Amino acid sequence: MAQAANAGIPRPASGIGLEPGRMIEWMNVRALGFPDVARLITGRRLLPLRHTRGRSGARPWSGEPHDVVPSRDRKTCTACGRPVAAITTDGVTKIANGQRNPRAPTLRAICAVLDIDRAALLPGAPPPDLEAEARRQADRDAARREQEEQEAAMTAFADALGHPELYRDSIGRRRISAELRRLYAEYQASREAVLAS
């Protein structure tokens, strides 16, 4: 009964206050929803992944500080059994709506996902400059296309050599190996030398 009575009471003002509505504006610029931000923060492992002394929920822990070793489901640490740091969609929603203030590591993670400086969310920050953001996005898209074209050329080069393992990892995902990058750079340099002579 006590929990139901306290459900509507907001948390005390701890953490870092944000400009009201600014995070939602940046999420709209990046075309991200609340679940997307939570998923990207957790998926990119942007929150601190080190366990130190202290409590984790109701489970006391007195082991030595260590780097987190996530389980296969990425929910618990295989070294100590404590939960792995993550943020929920509800947590992101409450931060964006001003119902909760993020702590410094959470704010850094949000800013990394939104690709902005921390100052862009603090009180007094100006709204996003949509024209400047459109130019930045166009530059990022051009760089991504150039990288994709270069990777496609390297995979075609590896196929021509008869070595697709140079761009496939052990479970079949496409990963350009350092060996393929080196071989392709040597090929490009020799090709340019032949064309120059």
Write down the pLDDT at residue 11. Answer: 53
| Residue 23 near residue 121, CB atoms below 8 Å | yes
The domain spans of the chain are 10-128, 144-196
Is the pLDDT score of 182 beyond 50? yes
Tokens 């040597």 — which residue? 186
Q: What is the mean pLDDT of residues 23-36?
A: 93
User: For residues 97 and 49, which has the higher predicted lDDT (pLDDT)?
Assistant: 97
User: For residues 141 and 76, which has the higher predicted lDDT (pLDDT)?
Assistant: 141
Phi/psi for 86 (5° steps) reads: -155, 170
Q: What is the mean pLDDT of residues 21-36?
A: 93
User: For residues 80 and 161, which has the higher predicted lDDT (pLDDT)?
Assistant: 161
What confidence tier does 13 reach under pLDDT thresholds 50, 70, 90?
low
Is the pLDDT score of 172 beyond 90? no
- pLDDT exceeding 90 applies to what percent of the chain? 40
Q: What is the mean pLDDT of residues 10-17?
A: 70
What confidence tier does 56 reach under pLDDT thresholds 50, 70, 90?
very low
Q: How many residues does the chain have?
A: 197
Write down the pLDDT at residue 73. Answer: 72
CA distance 140 to 78: 37
Lookup: tokens for 32:
């991200």
Q: Is the pTM of this model over 0.85?
A: no
Is the pLDDT score of 59 beyond 70? no
Tell which residue, 87, 88, 64, 66, has the closest CA to residue 77: 66
